[in-house]
Each structure stands twice: as C-alpha cells, then as structure tokens.
Amino acid sequence: MKGQTQAVTAVMITGIMIGTIAAVYVWGTPLLEKRESQAELDQMENSVLGLKNSIQSISNSGEGAGAEREITVNNGEVSINETGNFIEVTTSAEASAYPEGSWTLLESSNLQGLSFASGDYGVKGREPPGVVAAQGDTTGSGTVTYRIEFRRILDDGSGSPVIELVDLESAGANRATGDTTVSLRNQGPQVDEDAYRLGTGENIDIERNVIRVDLQ
C-alpha cells in the first residue's frame, strides 16, 4: 500500500511539473518575444532620434561639417525623400505602441508646417525645425515607420522676413536595406531669392542649409 501511495505521489508531482513547464512555455514565450520586440523598437527609436540630432547639429556647425550614423534595420529599409524633405526608416516589429495609419511625434506635439499636417511653415522659436514621427502599418504586416522631417521655418523677428530650411539632399542611392551607414555633410547655405510667397502676397527669400545624405 505504501509503495502504491509513493507511486501515485510521484505521478502527481510529475504531472504538476509537466503542467507548470507547459504553462510557462505557452504564456512565457510570447511575453519574452514581446519584450524583445519592444527592446528592438526602443533601440531603433533611439537610433532615429540620434540621426535627427546629428543632422541638426551639422546644420548648425557650418559648411563642411559632417558625421556618420549606423542604423540596423530588421527586414526594412532606410530611404530619403527629397521632395518631402524627410528620411524614413521602416522596420518589422512583433508589437508596436504606435497607432496604425497616423503619425505620432516622439519629441514635440506641434504639427504645424509638416507634410502630414496643416500649415505651410513653422515659426522660429515656436516650432523646432526637425521632428521625428512614427506610425504603425495599416496592412497588419507588423511594420513600423519612423520619419525624420525638416519643415520650413519663418523667421520674422528682425529685419526682412525669411524662410529657413534644413534641406536634405540625396547623394547616390536614395534607399538602402539592412545595416546602413548614413553619411552626412553640410554643403553650406544657399539663398533662393523671392522664392516663397506669404499669404499676404509678399515674396520672401528661402535660406536653405543643404545637408547631403549618403546611404551606404
């Protein structure tokens, strides 16, 4: 009888252990994968914010200033859009905190003058020239897109009003996949006289600080 009791006890303990291991596998594995995916997104977010800050710093440092940034993309790409004046980084993700189909600013809350919002320009001292935004993909593919965009900024604080712009210019290929080196170089200022028309009907200059972007 004692031997039977011990055998039953051993079977019960084994069953409990198997059930516990199965539960940990079923519930724990997705949680670990979600945490890993979020960690990858956090790293990508920091990389994109760092790239934006590098562009801004080079723009403020004068002609000839340059830098390189490394971006590791998971099943995605880095691309530059000269017309929209933005750089986009797409990456796959198991889970995303970003809404699908709409942009969320990561550092600022003012959308004025951005390509996906209203207004033609921001105002110096009120809106930062560059922003980083993110959005989830609407197709359910698990893709997140980050955008670094530089908007036109109106400076009317002293003298004649002028539009300032950190102007992104592609050098070579306008897209790259996998591990990407983004090389940046300040090409110096360029002035387009009377190239921007205000709502008042006045034509003012656009002062462009050209930043060459080379994707390798």
Q: Is the Cβ–Cβ distance between 187 and 73 less than 8 Å?
A: no
The Cα 131–Cα 117 span in angstroms is 13
How many other C-beta atoms lie within 10 A of the C-beta of residue 152?
A: 21
pLDDT in tens, 64-95: 999 999 998 888 899 999 999 999 999 987 76
Please state which of the ranges 5-14, 21-30, 67-76, 180-189 shows the lowest mean pLDDT. 21-30
The per-residue pLDDT for 148 is: 98
Read off the pLDDT band of 188 (50, 70, 90): very high
| 9 pLDDT higher than 70 | no
The per-residue pLDDT for 159 is: 79
The tokens for 172 are 């070579």
The Cα 105–Cα 92 span in angstroms is 19
pLDDT in tens, 99-120: 888 899 998 888 999 999 999 9
pTM of the model: 0.82
Give the SS3 label for residue 81. Answer: strand
Helix, strand, coil percent values for the chain (each to nearest 5): 25, 40, 35
* More confident position, 20 or 100: 100
Supply the mean pLDDT for the chain.
86
The per-residue pLDDT for 107 is: 85
